[in-house]
Amino acid sequence: MTKLKYYLKEMRVHHYIKNLLIVVPLACSGSLFDRQKLLSAIFGFLAFSFISSTVYIINDIKDVDVDRKNPVKCKRPIASSAISVKSAIILAVLLFILANIANFMCFSAISTLILLSYFAINLGYCFGLKNIPLLDIAILVSGFVLRALYGSFITGIQISNWLYLVIISAAFYLGFGKRRNELLKRESGKEVRKVMDFYNLGFLDKNMYVCMALVFVFYSLWSVDEKTIEVYKGNQLIWTVPVIMLIFMKYSMTVEKNSDGDPVEVLLHDKALIVICSLYLLLMFVLLYV
């Protein structure tokens, strides 16, 4: 049981929350209870979860020597020798196979291309692209966009262009926020990734809040778009805009304190933010399905 705990930790299971983006096209279309489409979305969620875990393991194997010198990363299962490199390789191969099996269950040529593109791009990130300024953040953003695209193709539901812009802007906002707090770590004497040499606090702050403003604009335009009004049978979605604003403002408030800026960690450890996000999800559910 103890060994399983280390394997799950190495797989970064708590980061699977990002893969809920795959369900967004289905949920926002009003077809969440379509059995076939929901099943496809579940298999897609599993496929992306397993492939993302594969990337995490490969990254940790590659960086094992560096991680052992880092006061935080040295606690990772591979760096701490709780899991051997050989066992980690076997786990990565197994997860890669499982990802492709899950993808086959909701198979289309394009969905396979998206999944493998995500894998290839993130391998590039692990093996050096993460050290190139802006490209490192762009790759993180691409992961969110590819998840949404994947969910669209496996369910056969088209996403509004406005919603894509919301996802892109929000992802850039999260990416800049994460780098911002990594920069603050360096200023307090902690070791951070090499790419932080190219960033400064003013640049990250400005772009972070520009992207947040764009999220509000694009989300508002999506909420009053003709197709959106047709799906929701009215323009009542406009009343969810203030809730979105509250979510991002609360996230910013948390990130600007003693957070490491990791979106998943921030969300899972901020009770107020969880409450506001739950309120938003409940409101969206009522508007679409009640």
pLDDT the model gives residue 250:
94
CA-to-CA dists, residue 110 to 44, 101, 144, angstroms: 13, 15, 17
pLDDT the model gives residue 91:
95
pLDDT the model gives residue 287:
87
> Model's pTM, two decimal places?
0.93
Contacts of residue 250, Cβ cutoff 8 Å, sequence gap at least 6: 270, 272, 273, 276
Query: Residues 106-119: pLDDT tens digits?
Result: 877 889 999 999 99
Q: Average the pLDDT over 158-167 and give the result.
A: 93
Picking from 96, 112, 100, 90, the residue whose alpha carbon sits closest to that of residue 52 is: 96
pLDDT confidence bin for 85, thresholds 50/70/90:
very high
Pick the CATH number of 9-158 from 3.40.605.10, 1.10.357.140, 1.10.240.10, 3.10.310.50: 1.10.357.140
- Residue 276 host element (H or E): helix 271-289
Contacts of residue 248, Cβ cutoff 8 Å, sequence gap at least 6: 173, 212, 215, 216
Q: Average the pLDDT over 149-175 and give the result.
A: 94
Share of the chain above pLDDT 70, in %: 97
pLDDT the model gives residue 260:
66
**Confidence check: pLDDT of 1 > 60:** no
**Confidence check: pLDDT of 231 > 90:** no
Every domain of the chain and the residues it spans: 9-158, 160-290
Share of the chain above pLDDT 90, in %: 68
